[in-house]
Structure 1
Amino acid sequence: MDIDHLTAAQAAAHADRARQTLTAGAAHIRPATIRQWAARGHLTATGLADDGRTRTYRLADVARAELATRARALRLVGIPES
């Protein structure tokens, strides 16, 4: 796995670990979430995976998108923003 460029599934796994730590398991990030972040302009695809059709995202960009959407996610699960 190229740690700099992740598929939506790989990106979701990385972002989900961070979100799980902050929410004590209450909020999850799925591959569909990564694709929604891209569709909404929070995240930009940087290339294609080896299969030639799966988009990839930079890990640093995924982290920024997770941070940008974190406050809303925490409110949705009832955890006040600190």
Structure 2
Amino acid sequence: MPLLPDSSLLALSATLESIWLCHWAFVFNDTPFTTASTISLASKKILKSQHEALLQSGTPHSPPPIFSEDSLYSLHW
């Protein structure tokens, strides 16, 4: 039995990796170390991991066309 569920482990590892990446970008590239950039990077990593898991399971990572935002705008009432 794992200590943490997959989603908790994913969030923790993505956050730690993002903190270190932003830290090293600050050290080597003089990029500002901000909370917003760290959260944005962690969110992108989590989303990418979720998409990869869906693709591996054979589930499409985008909603069917009937539920997409574009189809909502194309409806004529």
**Fold match (TM-score > 0.5):** no
Q: Identify, as 1 or 2, the structure richer in helix.
A: 2
Q: Identify, as 1 or 2, the structure richer in strand.
A: 1
TM-score (norm 2): 0.33
Higher relative contact order (CA 8 A, sep 6+): 1
TM-score (norm 1): 0.31
